[in-house]
Amino acid sequence: MSVVTQMVAGHAGTRLAVHRLGEGRPVLLLHGLFSNAATNWIKFGHAQKLADAGFEAIMPDLRAHGDSEAPTDPAAYPAGVLLRDVGMLVQALELEDFDLVGFSLGARTSAGAVIGGLRPRRLVLSGMGLTGLTGWDRRAAFFIDAIDRFDDVVRGDPAWLAVQFMRTMGVNRAAARLLLTSVGDIEPAELAAVAMPTLVLCGTEDRDNGSPEELVAALPDGSQSEVPGTHMSSVTFGALGQAIVDFLAR
């Protein structure tokens, strides 16, 4: 099997690249900030594990990421634009009975989409803790500051790793900055709408987005699993993909 890519229109006509691998039950996978589908899901074999287990991995590049368009018009980034994009993707791809998986920003987007009415069978929130959802504004401010100081950040600065990752990924910083301003906090009470079985999946050294234990406690039907690694390195371990397969195959 090989990855097939198609373009789908998101909000305001922004063209979003969608990469697909496998045949079977659809799983929509949303990658993390400054990353893309290839890095988050394909490179380290997670999508292949899903395909081998009888799923179809459907992996969009979020707007301003990967092979998707990265408009720099502020009008292309209204509040909640990623949630609008996900809703349009689900409709365009005619996904009715599917699972949803997100990593970091993708996890925050997944939770927001469910709160907004999306109803996957099962949900995986990876690289995410409670404050990554309820305190996103503070997290976004960190990355906006890294973008604004991009050329002045030196080794030892807290923003160093973020800047290096942006360099490696060739991020369009103007578009990424606009995207960050479009993402808002989730109120703790809103998590009551996340009623489907939900796995909170984090690296053993990953607390970048807060406590996964607190997030599990805030969910109606949450459970937790750990894989090796930090926030950045956990996606490089095959255990991440296997944990996703094990949970979705139940």
Domains defined along the chain, listed by start:
4-135+186-248 (3.40.50.1820)
Q: Are strands 99-103 and 15-21 parallel, antiparallel or unpaired?
A: unpaired
> Would you say 16 and 69 are in contact if contact means Cβ atoms under 8 Å apart?
yes
Mean pLDDT of the chain: 97
Q: What is the mean pLDDT of residues 51-71?
A: 98
> Would you say 34 and 65 are in contact if contact means Cβ atoms under 8 Å apart?
yes
pTM of the model: 0.97
What pLDDT sits at residue 1?
75
Query: For 94-105, what is each residue's pLDDT tens digit?
Result: 999 999 999 999
> Would you say 240 and 46 are in contact if contact means Cβ atoms under 8 Å apart?
yes
Q: Is the pLDDT of residue 86 over 90?
A: yes
